[in-house]
Amino acid sequence: MKVIATYNIKGGVGKTSTTVNLAYLAAKNSHRTLVWDLDPQGASSYYFRVKPKVKGGSKTLISGKCELNGLIKGTDFDYLDLLPADFSFRNLDLVLDGRKNPTQRLQKLLQPLADEYEYIFLDCPPNISLLSEAIFEATDILLSPLIPTTLSLRTLDQLKAFIKENKNKLKNLELIYFFSMADQRKKMHKEIIASFSKQHPDLLDIIIPYASDIEKMGIKRMPLGAYTQKGRSIEAYRALWEAILKRLI
Amino acid sequence: MMTKIALSFEFPDNLNVEKFITKLNKKIEYKLVSEHYMQKSFYDSFDWRLYNAHVLCEFNQSKNDSSLILKNSTTADNIALIKIDQVPCFANEFNRSALAYKLANLLEMRALLPLTTLELNVYKLNILNNDQKTVARLIIEDYWQFRCRVTIQPIKGYHKAAVNLHQLLVNSLSLTVIRKPILLAALKLQGRKVNDYSSKLNLQFDPDMPAGKAVKRIYKTLLKTIQINEQGVIDAIDSEFLHDFRVAIRRTRSGLSQLKRIFPSEITTYYSEYFAWLGSITSLTRDMNVYLLNIDAYKSSIPQYMREDLNPLEDFLLVKQKLAQEFLVEKLNSKKYKILLGEWEQYLKQFPAKETSPKKVLTIKQLADTQIWKVYQRVIQEGAVITKNTPAQSLHDLRKTCKKLRYLIEFFQNLYSINKIKALIKSLKGVQEVLGDFQDYEVQEDALRLFSDEMMRQQKVSSSTLLDMGVLVQKLDEKRCKARDEFARFFTEFNNPANKIIFKSLFAANSKKGK
Ligand SMILES: Nc1ncnc2c1ncn2[C@@H]1O[C@H](COP(=O)(O)OP(=O)(O)OP(=O)(O)O)[C@@H](O)[C@H]1O
Ligand SMILES: [Mg+2]
């Protein structure tokens, strides 16, 4: 079982789109895959047409009284399941805070699923919080989409600094970051990407373009790959998934 | 708590797919995802290893898709699936996958053989909720030769939708629940059924049955095994055909030598010679098969970097096996083989089962008791005198005696309490295995030495291959010594006081001097 969390302190950068599309591609290759929608907004749940509802809400979930397995829903796609969001997840931080070792909690909860799934994607809400710390500890790969704006790039430095501070606990965490929603027609995007790549040699050289077929996911309510086989966008997601797989070996 | 629901259903008489879908339309929302013609073939080993493990192997071919699926035969759940255009014969010919792994465990050395092919139209329906989310799937299989079947594929987390669907199918649409896979019906159509072959003997006798009649039944069963396996031996489908063929020959020989008084002695001698010959013409092929089956084990017993160098040995064995197989096929096509086997069949049919003594008819129970008790005592005598310094030949002799006892017990096992017999067989098996290993390793060591001489003479062998074979001989020798050391432990376990009591209570009754 490998856990992949899409995360950025900043909102609206393409975390959910990345989660949904990569999970779809993993499952498409017959790998047993789970998406855990940790965002109270329930965007990934929405894309998979699953009601954002968890019996007992965040309290029951975090308490571990109810096995995660019983809350999982099969999506419309083979090998791809979803653990839906719930509106009560907005206070996940508080619930976690009430527990001993709150940052180890998610990892504990995921343990029983180790045999069930090869890949578990965590779709995370923005912000840095107790929940994000728990996510980092449970995660093998922290996948961070960046948009080519100076503000967004600053949050990457904050994230790096945080990981460095906690490097004892986060020994196994690998940070992978890449540009998303990049519009190659915009001169500013191009320039920012060029100068940023020079300063950050470990930047993944795969760019998810700003594209209307990706935007359409909201109307179609399904992953990109379920309605498009060709084009720059799906190719970019395929390349991204392959690059991640290489890191996982 | 989730209730387990039935998943497979059959159409009633007056229903067809079109009507079914129209009726469904009024009750629930669904989407017809696909509709296509399909050929569904079932596979299993000759001895039904998959079916006996509750596994069905289906090869489904349609215009755009061709896949091999393993299913649980009772729940119809998918266990594993791969996309594949042709079904390989052996598990080790598959690419690595969960399916290949499962198959390898179940099949071992047996070939995967096609059983039957059905033609059908398949309809796949997604059952939707208000969000147009699929909450269950419905597979309609419209067989050309059978009633249409419907299967619910539940989706995780949507149990209630599956329950509702079940109720709809049964209550509103009058479908009936089915629990038997279509394979059974398909085989019936061919006049076949599952488990129509097993290498295990399972003969039922009335204890008072005249011995002659019963023994004849044993021979007839063994003859059938020989005949059933014959074609597979000739075609060399897998090595197990020859294995079972030979076991049936050995059992027959063992019967002829141990249950002597049943037939006139000239008959016994005549057929004993024939079956001895039959055993001998099959042994070279079997030996080569065994070496080839062992080759992976050989490779893993030597260091990784040396393994490649063992390939020439494998090639050498393959050539030898091919020659041996040609020889065997020639013999099995010979007049001698066919005529005598026909005579034997005829003889078993005609033999009037007249008893030697007209006053008192020997029953099968009496014969079995006396014979097993006699051979058991021989095993104990021969085993008890074996010490650390006893020459190997005594162990080999004991191995043969044990085998005789084993065959007798297997012939007659159903005359006795099954639990007691099982325990005895188990501890006897322990002794047989350790003795078998002891002998096998020695035979293999000798054979490898002969092979290396032969390969040298053919001048096709490199020093590294010979070195490998040397290492192998040493490894085998270590194992042989280990088997020798372990003999005492297994024999003591077999000869424990509890077993002694069971043997005596089961078999000694008819022996005047039963001690
Ligand atoms: N590559 C893209 N091209 C065009 N639109 C995109 C692209 N990626 C995402 N979007 C759109 O941008 C919006 C935000 O994307 P998404 O929900 O994936 O981001 P997020 O980081 O998960 O947001 P949040 O922080 O709110 O969870 C969505 O409406 C999505 O359809
Ligand atoms: Mg999101």
B440-450: b (≥16 Cβ within 10 Å) or e? bbbebbebbee
Residue nearest ligand 1's atom 25 by CA: A11
**What mean pLDDT comes out for the span A186-193?**
93
The predicted structure's pLDDT at residue B231 = 97
When pLDDT is cut at 50, 70 and 90, the band that residue B515 belongs to is: very low
Q: How big is the CA angle at B443 (ends B442 and B444), to the nearest 5 degrees? A: 90
Nearest to B439, CA basis, from B402, B387, B493? B402
Is the beta carbon of A224 within 6 A of some atom in ligand 1? Answer: no
The predicted structure's pLDDT at residue B1 = 45
Let me know: does B68 contact B81? Beta carbons within 8 Å. Answer: yes
Ligand nearest A7 Cα, by number? Answer: 1
Check CB contact of A121 with chain B, cutoff 8 Å. Answer: no
Is residue A92's pLDDT more than 90?
A: yes
B498's tokens: 């509890």
**ipTM score above 0.95:** no
Considering chain B, what percentage of its residues have pLDDT values greater than 70? 96
Let me know: does B97 contact B80? Beta carbons within 8 Å. Answer: yes
**What mean pLDDT comes out for the span B325-342?**
97
Q: Taking CB atoms and an 8 Å limit, are A72 and B155 in contact across chains?
A: no
Is residue A242's pLDDT more than 80?
A: yes
Nearest to B308, CA basis, from B293, B318, B298, B317? B298
Q: How far A69 CA lies from chain B's nearest CA (Å)?
A: 9
The predicted structure's pLDDT at residue B460 = 74
Mutational pocket test of ligand 1: of A17, A46, A152, A213, the residue with most ligand atoms within 8 Å of the beta carbon: A17
Q: Taking CB atoms and an 8 Å limit, are B133 and A72 in contact across chains?
A: no
What is chain B's percent helix, strand, coil content, to nearest 5? 60, 15, 25
**What mean pLDDT comes out for the span A96-109?**
93
Q: Which uninterrupted H or E stretch holds A167? A: none
Is the beta carbon of A71 within 6 A of some atom in ligand 1? Answer: no
Three-class SS of residue A74?
strand
Kindly give the distance from the C-alpha atom of residue A217 to the centroid of ligand 1, in angstroms, as a whole number: 10
Give the residue ranges of DSSP H helices in A48-204.
Answer: 57-63, 92-97, 105-110, 130-138, 150-165, 187-199
Chain Cα centroid distance, residue A44:
10
CB nearest to A72's CB, from B126, B132, B156:
B156
Q: Taking CB atoms and an 8 Å limit, are B126 and A76 in contact across chains?
A: yes
Cβ atoms within 10 Å, residue B505: 12
The predicted structure's pLDDT at residue B357 = 52
Give the separation between CA A51 and CA A84, rounded to whole angstroms.
Answer: 7
pTM for this entry: 0.83
Give the separation between CA B68 and CA B84, rounded to whole angstroms.
Answer: 7
Q: Taking CB atoms and an 8 Å limit, are A49 and B132 in contact across chains?
A: yes
Residue nearest ligand 1's atom 14 by CA: A12
> In what side-by-side order are the strands of the sheet with B134-143?
B78-83, B66-72, B55-62, B30-44, B113-128, B134-143, B149-154, B8-10, B176-177
Ligand nearest A145 Cα, by number? Answer: 1
Is residue A106's pLDDT more than 60?
A: yes
B173's tokens: 């649409």
pLDDT tens column, A27-45: 999 899 999 999 999 999 9
User: Which residue range forms the structural domain that includes residue A32?
Assistant: 2-248
When pLDDT is cut at 50, 70 and 90, the band that residue A152 belongs to is: confident
**What residues in chain B have their Cβ under 8 A from chain A's Cβ atoms?**
126, 131-134, 155-158
Report the CATH number at residue A70: 3.40.50.300
Chain Cα centroid distance, residue B337:
25
Is residue B212's pLDDT more than 50?
A: yes
Fold of B8-189: Hypothetical Protein Pfu-838710-001 (2.40.320)
Sign of the torsion formed by the C-alpha atoms of A214, A220, A226 and A231:
negative
pLDDT tens column, B390-440: 999 999 999 999 999 999 999 999 999 888 899 999 999 999 999 999 999
The predicted structure's pLDDT at residue B129 = 96
The set of residues, in sequence order, having a beta carbon less than 8 Å from that of B338 and lying 6+ positions away, is none
Nearest to B57, CA basis, from B10, B114, B140? B114
Kindly give the distance from the C-alpha atom of residue A186 to the centroid of ligand 1, in angstroms, as a whole number: 18
| Residue of A29, A31, A44, A50 for testing the chain B interface, max B β-carbons within 10 Å | A50
CA closest to B159 among chain A residues: A73
Over its C-alpha atoms, chain A yields an Rg (Å, rounded) of: 17
Is residue B488's pLDDT more than 80?
A: yes
The set of residues, in sequence order, having a beta carbon less than 8 Å from that of B373 and lying 6+ positions away, is B503, B507, B508, B510, B511, B514
Considering chain A, what percentage of its residues have pLDDT values greater than 70? 100
Q: Taking CB atoms and an 8 Å limit, are A74 and B157 in contact across chains?
A: yes
Is residue B272's pLDDT more than 70?
A: yes
Kindly give the distance from the C-alpha atom of residue A183 to the centroid of ligand 2, in angstroms, as a whole number: 20
Check CB contact of A31 with chain B, cutoff 8 Å. Answer: no
When pLDDT is cut at 50, 70 and 90, the band that residue B306 belongs to is: confident
Q: Give the residue extent of every domain in chain B.
A: 8-189, 211-510
Interface of A with B in 189-208 (CB under 8 A): none
Let me know: does A207 contact A179? Beta carbons within 8 Å. Answer: yes
The predicted structure's pLDDT at residue A94 = 92
CB nearest to A73's CB, from B126, B132, B158:
B158
**Total structural domains in chain A?**
1
Residues of chain B contacting residue A74, judged by C-beta atoms under 8 Å apart = 155-158
pLDDT tens column, B274-297: 999 999 999 999 999 999 999 989
A78's tokens: 């083979």
Residues of chain B contacting residue A223, judged by C-beta atoms under 8 Å apart = none
Q: Taking CB atoms and an 8 Å limit, are A48 and B133 in contact across chains?
A: yes
Residues of chain A contacting residue B155, judged by C-beta atoms under 8 Å apart = 73-74
Is the beta carbon of A215 within 6 A of some atom in ligand 1? Answer: yes
Mutational pocket test of ligand 1: of A13, A16, A37, the residue with most ligand atoms within 8 Å of the beta carbon: A16
Question: CATH second-level architecture of B211-510?
Answer: Alpha solenoid (1.40)
Is residue B353's pLDDT more than 60?
A: no
Residues of chain B contacting residue A50, judged by C-beta atoms under 8 Å apart = 133
The predicted structure's pLDDT at residue B358 = 53
Is the beta carbon of A124 within 6 A of some atom in ligand 1? Answer: no
Pairing outcome for strands B113-128 and B30-44: antiparallel
Is residue B514's pLDDT more than 70?
A: no
**What mean pLDDT comes out for the span B163-176?**
95
pLDDT tens column, B339-349: 999 999 999 99
Residues of chain A contacting residue B158, judged by C-beta atoms under 8 Å apart = 73-74
**What mean pLDDT comes out for the span B30-36?**
95
B230-268: b (≥16 Cβ within 10 Å) or e? bebbeebbbbbbbbbbbbbbbbbbbbbebbebbbeeeeb
Burial class (CB in 10 A: 0-12, 13-18, 19+), B52: middle
Residue nearest ligand 1's atom 19 by CA: A14
The predicted structure's pLDDT at residue B354 = 54
The predicted structure's pLDDT at residue B161 = 96
Q: How far A38 CA lies from chain B's nearest CA (Å)?
A: 18
- A20 sits in the region (left: phi over 0; alpha: psi -120 to 50; else beta) called alpha
Is residue B77's pLDDT more than 90?
A: no
Is residue B238's pLDDT more than 70?
A: yes
Q: What is the dihedral of CA B183, B184, B185, B188, to 10 degrees?
A: 120
Residue nearest ligand 1's atom 18 by CA: A14
Is the beta carbon of A152 within 6 A of some atom in ligand 1? Answer: no
The set of residues, in sequence order, having a beta carbon less than 8 Å from that of B287 and lying 6+ positions away, is B324, B447
Residues of chain A contacting residue B131, judged by C-beta atoms under 8 Å apart = 49, 51, 221
Give the separation between CA B412 and CA B184, rounded to whole angstroms.
Answer: 31
Check CB contact of A154 with chain B, cutoff 8 Å. Answer: no
Burial class (CB in 10 A: 0-12, 13-18, 19+), B83: exposed
Sign of the torsion formed by the C-alpha atoms of B228, B230, B235 and B238:
positive
Give the separation between CA B391 and CA B300, rounded to whole angstroms.
Answer: 31
Is the beta carbon of A10 within 6 A of some atom in ligand 1? Answer: no
